[in-house]
Structure 1
Amino acid sequence: MRHHDHRHDHGHSHDEGLETLRQALSAEAWNERYSGSDRVWSGKPNQRLVEQAKDLDPGTALDVACGEGGDAIWLARQGWEVTAVDVSEVALEKVAIHAEEAGVSRHLRIGLYDALSDPRPAGHRTFDLVTVSFLHVPIPDFNDIYRGIAEAVAPGGRLLVTAHHPHDVESGARHSHGDGLLFEPERVLEALGVGTDDSPWVIEVAETQDREQAMPEGPMKVRDTVVRLRREG
Structure 2
Amino acid sequence: MSTATQSIREIVTSRPSAASIFHRFDIDLCVQADLSLEAACRELQLSVDQVLEKLADAEVKENGGLAFDALSVSLGRLIQHIVRVHHHCVRQDLPALAEMASNVAAKRSDRDPELVKVAEVVEELRSEMYAHIEKEEQVLFPFISQMDQASIVSYPPAHACFRSVAHPIFMMEQEHESAGHIMSELVRLTNHFETPSWACATHIALFSGLGEFEADLGQHVHLENHVLFPRAIHLETEIKARS
TM-score (norm 1): 0.27
Select the structure that is richer in strand: 1
Larger RCO, structure (CA 8 Å, separation 6 or more): 2
Query: Which has a greater percent of helix?
Result: 2
TM-score under structure 2 length normalisation: 0.26
